[in-house]
Amino acid sequence: MRELREVMHGLSRVKPFAPALLATLVLTGIDAMTPPAAALIVAALIMGYFLRPSPRVKRESKDSKTEIHRNEAEMTILDILPDPVVLVDSRRTVLAATKAAKDMIGPAMVGRDLSQSLRQPQLLSAVSQSFQSGDAQHLETQFSGSLARTFDVHVLALNHEDPARRRAMLVFHDVTERLKLEGMQSDFVANVSHELRTPLSALTGFIETLRGPARDDAEARARFLSIMEMEAWRMARLVDDLLSLSRVEVNEHVRPQGRVNLTELLKTVIATLAQTAQERGNKIVLREGANLPDVTGDEDQLVEVFNNLLSNALKYGAENTTVEVRLDAVARIVDIAVPGVAVAIRNAGEGIASEHIPRLTERFYRIDKGRSRAIGGTGLGLAIVKHIVNRHRGKLTIESAPGEGATFTVQLPEFKTP
């Protein structure tokens, strides 16, 4: 912050060059800076330039309305900044606000006391503090309302050495998304650790038992070893799924280029699941609509999508029923408005209550954790499916009601020669 004040102070001495300096900064350095730093520096430079009492300004009326107009005009330059910026005088009257600030706080804030527009006591006391001390203040503050948001706010004291012209500049930077991502990241790490620890503690527990009480019990040994094998496989599957998820995430912005015939691909997936289906007394049938185009896709990833969805249909669907896979040409994929193919996978069974449906594609989300774990699920399958479908610019929809089974539909854009 001190550096900033020095920049402004220095600027007052090189005033004739300030616009050129500013232009250079905007053109060269701003891309590389973090948004709040860029906003602060550009704002400080502009304010530093405009707020110096020039001889012309000194002769101007001291009427605050005139000053508001002048500042408003100058502040429009800052409208290019995505971060809201507000300028107040030492009586806390808002002298100017950028477009982003007016959009966020309300258009009528200029000319009024700041406390009429902003009701955050911490923020108001940071402004008073900056006037008293001349030091910059930094705080995080919440805005409630229909869309709750968190802002990182820098309050900058301007012209502190001249009591008559003291100003405070507030620069708001929205950190809601960053905080959400950080929260998701730490939840994810906590979930992964928990999911890995469960099979690990089973393994260490059984090792102890085999060394101790079950040492000479051949029958218990065989039973425990097979449980240990299952737990070890579960860990391996979890690691595979995590790797698969991170690979898909890395590539998500790169559109696949391949040409895929979905009928052929689904036949292969169905064949690999034939034995699992048979063990549960299930049948998988494939029904095709007319005039199916090929789709644009990554074959391996699409195998992963349909393998996940069909395995789920078998795992969570009722035994001794038929799982239906329907392929249809669609003229317009919902929300995307391009032609493509819809693959609907329908299973009979207990279905899914509506409150769970939007959350199924979250990592590790399982309706019945115990049950999913018992049948070897990690809760990552649908998260992977969602990311792959997004990468394909496709659409995943889930329809279900308790007692009515479930239908998972994937729509994929048709192949176009690149």
Ligand X SMILES: Nc1ncnc2c1ncn2[C@@H]1O[C@H](COP(=O)(O)OP(=O)(O)OP(=O)(O)O)[C@@H](O)[C@H]1O
List of residues contacting ligand X (CB under 6 A): 241, 308, 312-313, 316-317, 347, 352, 360, 365-368, 372, 377-382, 406
Q: Are 162 and 151 in contact (CB under 8 A)?
A: no
For the CB of residue 270, give the shortest distance to Mg ion in the complex, in Å: 16
For the CB of residue 127, give the shortest distance to ligand X in the complex, in Å: 49
Q: Are 338 and 372 in contact (CB under 8 A)?
A: no
Among ligand X, Mg ion, none, the one that 378 touches (CB under a kind-dependent 5 to 8 A) is: ligand X
Among ligand X, Mg ion, none, the one that 224 touches (CB under a kind-dependent 5 to 8 A) is: none
For the CB of residue 272, give the shortest distance to ligand X in the complex, in Å: 15
CA atoms within 13 Å, Cβ hemisphere of 252:
15
Among ligand X, Mg ion, none, the one that 316 touches (CB under a kind-dependent 5 to 8 A) is: ligand X
* Among residues 117, 312, 372, 411, the one that binds Mg ion under rule CB under 5 A: 312
User: What is the rounded CA–CA span in Å between residue 145 and residue 316?
Assistant: 40
Among ligand X, Mg ion, none, the one that 293 touches (CB under a kind-dependent 5 to 8 A) is: none
Which span sits near Mg ion by CB under 5 A: 246-254, 283-291, 298-306, 377-385?
377-385
Q: Are strands 259-260 and 149-158 parallel, antiparallel or unpaired?
A: unpaired
Which span sits near Mg ion by CB under 5 A: 22-30, 310-318, 358-366, 403-411?
310-318
For the CB of residue 196, give the shortest distance to Mg ion in the complex, in Å: 18
For residue 145, the tally of other CB atoms under 10 A from its CB is: 7
Q: Are strands 322-330 and 283-288 parallel, antiparallel or unpaired?
A: parallel
119 vs 287 by CB, closer to ligand X: 287
User: What is the rounded CA–CA span in Å between residue 408 and residue 394?
Assistant: 13
145 vs 370 by CB, closer to ligand X: 370
Nearest residue to 325 via CA among 292, 290, 284: 284
User: What is the rounded CA–CA span in Å between residue 325 and residue 317?
Assistant: 14
130 vs 312 by CB, closer to Mg ion: 312
* Among residues 36, 381, 394, 405, the one that binds Mg ion under rule CB under 5 A: 381
State the residue number with the nearest CB to ligand X.
Answer: 381
Q: What burial class does residue 30 get, using C-beta atoms within 10 Å of its C-beta: 0-12 exposed, 13-18 middle, 19+ buried?
A: middle
97 vs 284 by CB, closer to ligand X: 284
For the CB of residue 212, give the shortest distance to Mg ion in the complex, in Å: 37
State the residue number with the nearest CB to Mg ion.
Answer: 381
Among ligand X, Mg ion, none, the one that 367 touches (CB under a kind-dependent 5 to 8 A) is: ligand X
Nearest residue to 365 via CA among 383, 353, 347: 383
221 vs 237 by CB, closer to ligand X: 237
Which span sits near Mg ion by CB under 5 A: 142-150, 182-190, 306-314, 403-411?
306-314
For every residue of 4-50, DSSP letters joined together read: HHHHHHHHHHTGGGHHHHHHHIIIIIGGGS-HHHHHHHHHHHHHHHH
48 vs 381 by CB, closer to Mg ion: 381
- Sequence letter at residue 26: V
For the CB of residue 314, give the shortest distance to Mg ion in the complex, in Å: 10
Nearest residue to 39 via CA among 234, 163, 169, 191: 169
Among Mg ion, ligand X, none, the one that 172 touches (CB under a kind-dependent 5 to 8 A) is: none
User: What is the rounded CA–CA span in Å between residue 409 and residue 407?
Assistant: 6
For Mg ion, the binding residues (CB under 5 A) are: 312, 381
